[in-house]
Amino acid sequence: MQTIYETRLFQLASEYEHLMRRSNNYKGLGNGILDRYDHPVLTIGHLPLTWQYDLNPEANPYLMLRRGVLSIANAGAIAIGDKIALMTRLQSYDGQFFFALAESATGVDRFRFRNAPTTLPIMTTVRTNIFNLRLTPHEDGWIYALYNLRQKEQHGSAATYHHAVARTKDLQSWESLPDLAFSAPAQRLCLLHPALVNGKYLVYSQQIDQLQTGGSRMQITINSFDDWPNPACKEESKIQAIAFPDIETPAYLLGPCPIKTELGWIHLCAGLRRTSYGWRHILQVFLTDLNDPSKVLSQPGGHFLELNEKDKSSPALRMLHSNGWAVFQNKVFLYYTNLDNRVQVVSTPMERLLDYITNTPQNLTDASTGLKMRMEMIEQNQIFMNKFHL
C-alpha cells in the first residue's frame, strides 16, 4: 500500500509532465495583427517539484509545500540558438524575489525551467530584493541584464535603490558590472539599447518614483556613456513626438529591448486608457530612426495589445505589462503578464508587424476628423463587399 508521500509524489509528477507536454494552439481568427493562444506559456505549475517541495520522505512525509512560490511575471525574452529563453521574476511566499530561466523550441509551449534558478551577481551583501529586469542582446556580443536592487539600511526602515548590471554569453555564467550612475539619484526603470550609437552605449530610463506618485507624464530619457568601467549616464536627449493622447498615465512605461528592422527600431511601451468599465491597461508600439533612436518615425493609433474580455472581468485582472519579446524564425513572440500568476504569449510575422506599424493611422484628437475618415473607408469598402457579393 502506498504512503501519502508516494501517492502525492506520483500525482504531482504526472500532472507536471502532462503540463510540460501540452501543445498550445491558435485561438480563433484574431484581429489580423496578433495571433493569440489557448494557454499561458508559464504558470506556477511549470516550476520543477524540486523548487518548492522537500522530497525527503522523512522530513516531509505529507509532501507539503516547504518553499512555495507566489507569483511568476515579467518575462524578459531572448532568442538564443534554436530556442527562446524567458527570464522570469518569481516571488516566494516570504515575499522575496528571484529569477529563473525557462526555454522552449517553439516559443509558445513546452517551456521548461533549467535545473536551478538563475544566480545573478550582487556586489554587496545588504541588498534585499531584485526586480524590474530587462534583457538586451547587444551587438558587442554580450547579453546584458539591467535590474533594480533594493538596499535596506542596516539601522532603520529607509532603503536605497541601485541600477545593477550583469552580462553573460550563455545565460548561465554571469559577470557583474558597475552600477549605472545618474545625475539624479531617483530610482529608475532602465533598458540598454542593443547597439552602439556614435560609439557609445545608450540607456533608456524613467524615474519610478514619479510614476508611482502620479506626477506629470515622464518622457523616456536616453542617456549615454563610453564604456562599462565608468557607466556614468549623462542625459543627452528624450524620445520626441510620442503622441498617444488617449493614454492617461504619468508615462509611457518602458517595455523590452527594441527590435532592429530595415525600417527602424520597433519599441514597445505600456499605458492606461480610461473606458466605461474603468482603467484599461494596453500596450503600444512605435518606430524610431535607425541612426537616431530619439526620433519617432511612426506610431500606430489605438492599441497594439489589450487583454481578452475574460481577463477584464475584474479590476485585479486588468493589469497588463511586458518586459520581453524576441524575434524567432521570422516571427515576433511577445510575452506579457496579468495578475502576476501567468505569462502569456502572442505572435506575429515580422512582415505583418511592419505593415501594422507603417500603415495604421496615428491617433486623432479631433472626433469629427476621425469620423470623416471612417466614413470614407466604409464607402470605399462597400465596393469590395459588392465585388465579392458579401
Domains of the chain, first to last: 4-241+308-350 (2.115.10.20)
Which secondary-structure segment (H or E) carries 103? strand 97-104
pLDDT digits (tens, 9 = 90+) for 312-367: 555 555 578 888 999 999 999 999 987 668 899 999 999 999 999 999 988 776 77
Can you tell me the distance from the alpha carbon of 329 to that of 82, in angstroms, rounded to the nearest whole number? Answer: 9
Whole-number pLDDT of residue 234: 79
pLDDT digits (tens, 9 = 90+) for 174-186: 999 999 998 877 7
Nearest to 250 by CA among 202, 294, 215: 215
pLDDT digits (tens, 9 = 90+) for 107-158: 999 999 999 999 888 655 545 678 888 999 999 999 999 988 877 666 666 6
Phi first, then psi: what are they for 20, rounded to 5°? Answer: -65, -30
Can you tell me the distance from the alpha carbon of 348 to that of 62, in angstroms, rounded to the nearest whole number? Answer: 46
Can you tell me the distance from the alpha carbon of 97 to that of 60, in angstroms, rounded to the nearest whole number? Answer: 25
Per the listing, cell 489580423 goes with 32
pLDDT digits (tens, 9 = 90+) for 247-269: 444 446 788 999 999 999 999 98
Mean pLDDT within 13-30: 93
Q: Give the rounded percent of residues in the chain with a pLDDT score beyond 70.
A: 84
Whole-number pLDDT of residue 370: 78
Mean pLDDT within 56-74: 93
Whole-number pLDDT of residue 215: 45
Cβ pair 100, 113 in contact under 8 A: yes
Average pLDDT over the chain reads 85
The answer to whether residue 211 scores a pLDDT higher than 80 is: no
The answer to whether residue 160 scores a pLDDT higher than 60 is: yes
The answer to whether residue 217 scores a pLDDT higher than 60 is: no
* DSSP secondary structure string for all residues of 133-199: EEEEE-TTS-EEEEEEEEEE-SSSS-EEEEEEEEEESSSSSEEEEEEEEESS-S-EEEEE-SS-BTT
Query: What are the CA-CA distances from residue 379 to residues 369, 376, 384, 385, 389 (Å)?
Result: 16, 5, 10, 10, 15
